[in-house]
Amino acid sequence: MSMAANLLDKLAQKNPNEPEFLQAAREVMESLEPLMERHPEYVKAGIFERILEPERQVMFRVPWVDDRGTVQVNRGYRIEFSSAIGPYKGGLRFHPSVNLSIIKFLGFEQILKNSLTGLPIGGGKGGSDFDPKGKSDAEVMKFCQSFITELYRHIGADTDVPAGDIGVGGREIGYLFGQYKRIVNRYEGVLTGKGLAWGGSLARTEATGYGLVYFVEEMLKTKGESFAGKKVAISGSGNVAIYAAEKVRALGGTVITMSDSNGYFVDEAGVDLDCVKQLKEVERKRCSDYINNHPEAKYFEGCQNIWMVPCDIALPCATQNEINEQDAKNLVANGCIAVGEGANMPCTPEAVKVFHDNNVLFAPGKASNAGGVAVSALEMSQNSMRYSWTFEEVDAKLKNIMINIHTKAYQAAKEYGQEGNLVVGANIAGFVKVAEAMLAQGIV
């Protein structure tokens, strides 16, 4: 049995009910096999076993009272996975599907993603099975206050700095920050994604979506291609999807689909982003409402057929495992030339194999969606300096970071004999920095 297989076997025995975590660990460990052979010192120091075990896992009760006076109880999580290269850093997800497996998979991916940014941030992730959909602002505030009343003791500007993710945007970060500050009586950069008037960074809102498109642009260049004149299918209509769509449009592409968990719409004339922003960011409405303003567009209930819409480039920006093997085959059959993951792990391993086998350019999320956490780290720098950069300054740094991530991943893949395989390249490039830090810091 290979060393990776042996490690994964033990991991599955230890964590039997964590399919998403095991899926993420498998993808990484299998691609690190050549590294295991080249670096026996990593094996000897138990780097692989240690990186798979979170440094700390916190699970807690989150009680709150809804608008009808009924007591509700949710479960909160914070997985502090690795602090080898900096304070734990990673988002909070509020969604009914949240469980330990999902938070661990996200936290594990975050270690390598944060390393790839070149910035000094470790890996962590958290969240709750709370569903902000359909809740009043008062209910969301009460939940956030209860959540942080436990979490505050585990986090801090130099310890662990959470941010947003699915279901956690500016509103939630505001409620979490307000209560944190009240409890600790300190104004510090303990959360990122803050409002501009109270410590946030310009371009953080846009960062993940813009960063994704900067990364895919670099990837397209390796084949002499660009976004200009391309039809682009995007899933999701949240933070990542909206700003990916905005940048695609700026680079001359046409976004033809967007979705939410109820269904998707197709607008061949090009998605009206002002309308989507108004529906999603202001009115908190559904994608089905898009056709009220755009009767020429078509709405489809359910998301299962979104990847049958013919496109040149696909950017899945909703959630994990949203493109399976059959979806990938449909995309290939319809002439798709590139896929860039905006979400975390939206493509199953079988789907990724279809892309690789068919020479479809593929950008793995841990590299291509790292722009969000990169600008979060820039927000931390600005907080420490008590200073703010302009939008243009942050955007230029973001673009530079995304180009560097692409270069690192591309070159690592080439060095290990797998040119063009950015999955292998991103895993190796991200891992080596963390492994070197762990080696230097002894058995901890």
The catalytic residue positions are 125
Burial of 74 (0-12, 13-18, 19+ CB in 10 A): buried
With CB under 6 A, what is the number of residues at the site for ligand NDP? Answer: 23
As a whole number of Å, the end-to-end CA separation of the chain is 28
Q: Smallest distance, Å, CB 428 to ligand NDP?
A: 21
Within 13 Å, how many C-alpha atoms sit on residue 335's CB side?
7
**Residue number closest to ligand NDP, CB atom:** 238
By CB under 6 A, residue 192 contacts ligand NDP: no
Query: Which one of 261, 324, 358, 411 is in contact with ligand NDP (CB under 6 A)?
Result: 261
Please report, as residue ranges, which positions from 196 to 215 form the binding site for ligand NDP (by CB under 6 A). Answer: 208
Query: x/- contact string, 364-393, with ligand NDP (CB under 6 A)?
Result: -----x--x---------------------
Which pair of structure tokens corresponds to residue 286?
């559904």
Q: Interface with ligand NDP by CB under 6 A: which range of 22-30, 54-62, 77-85, 311-319?
A: 311-319
Q: Interface with ligand NDP by CB under 6 A: which range of 67-75, 184-192, 235-243, 348-356?
A: 235-243
Of 47 and 86, CB closest to ligand NDP: 86
Look at residue 26 and give its three-state secondary structure: helix
Query: Which one of 114, 239, 254, 382 is in contact with ligand NDP (CB under 6 A)?
Result: 239
Query: Which one of 83, 145, 344, 383 is in contact with ligand NDP (CB under 6 A)?
Result: 344
* Residue 419: φ, ψ to 5°: -50, 135
What dihedral do alpha carbons 107, 282, 257, 273 form, nearest 10°? -120
Of 4 and 207, CB closest to ligand NDP: 207
By CB under 6 A, residue 260 contacts ligand NDP: yes
What is the C-alpha separation between 212 and 206, in angstroms, rounded?
10
| Letter string b/e over residues 245-282, b meaning 16 or more CB atoms within 10 A of that residue's CB | bbbbbebebbbbbbbbeebbbbbeeebbbebbbebbee
Query: Which one of 318, 323, 361, 377 is in contact with ligand NDP (CB under 6 A)?
Result: 318
Query: x/- contact string, 165-184, with ligand NDP (CB under 6 A)?
Result: xxx-----------------
Task: Decide if 342 contacts 215 (C-beta within 8 A).
Answer: no
Of 126 and 236, CB closest to ligand NDP: 236
Q: Whose CA is closest to 288, among 269, 307, 275?
A: 275
Of 115 and 208, CB closest to ligand NDP: 208
Tell me the β-bridge partners of 58.
78
The 8-class DSSP code of residue 340 comes to: E
Q: How far is CA 75 from the centre of its chain?
A: 21
Binding site for ligand NDP (CB under 6 A): 164-167, 208, 236-241, 260-262, 303, 317-319, 342-344, 369, 372
